[in-house]
Amino acid sequence: MIFTCSWSDWFHEDADEWRSEAWEIVKPCPNLVFQILTKRPTCIAEHLPADWGNGHPNAWLGVSIESNRYVNRAEILKLVPAQVRFISAEPLLGPLHGLELNGIDWLIVGGESGPNFRHMNPDWARSLRDRAVASSMPYFCKQSSALRTETDTLLDWEDWRQMPIHERNLLVGSL
């Protein structure tokens, strides 16, 4: 698993100069899964490679949604063809009552970390977990809000580390 652009955004205009070359690296690497996360879903469609079709199996597209104000990002993502679409609800700063999970394949939830972290109410994470479980969607609880990222990765004393099934998983087991 390769989480791309952890300090950037694959679909930011500054990525225009290298994005085509990056797509050329992604496609011939079926042994790797590239998680491509953005806050700019309106830019995705115009920056996909010409041979994208229904998506490359090893390129998962996702959007960040930190509060109910941004749930429209999921609706835009659903319009883009992809093998796996995911939501990264982090840092989760409020409940996501307006989030519709249909058409989404994976839900990641996490609180903010660092010296000035903002508190994540565990009920917000529980609500999303319950909705994901009800729709048979893999749910991944990355962390609660804390000073350090490794603090409190459990939700209700359970480790939620589910992931979508990828064709590679069928051969080598869970990632």
Q: What are phi and psi of 64, to 5 degrees?
A: -85, 135
Residue 152's pLDDT band (boundaries 50, 70, 90)? low
How much helix, strand and coil, in percent to the nearest 5, is found in the chain?
Answer: 30, 20, 55
- For the cut 50, the answer to whether the pLDDT of residue 120 exceeds it is yes
The Cα 46–Cα 80 span in angstroms is: 10
The Cα 139–Cα 150 span in angstroms is: 18
- For the cut 50, the answer to whether the pLDDT of residue 149 exceeds it is yes
Q: What are phi and psi of 59, to 5 degrees?
A: -120, 105
Q: What is the pLDDT of residue 147?
A: 52
Query: Is the distance from CB of 171 to CB of 145 less than 8 angstroms?
Result: no
- Considering the entire predicted model, what is its pTM? 0.87
- For the cut 50, the answer to whether the pLDDT of residue 175 exceeds it is no
Q: How many Cβ atoms are within 10 Å of 158's Cβ, its own excluded?
A: 9
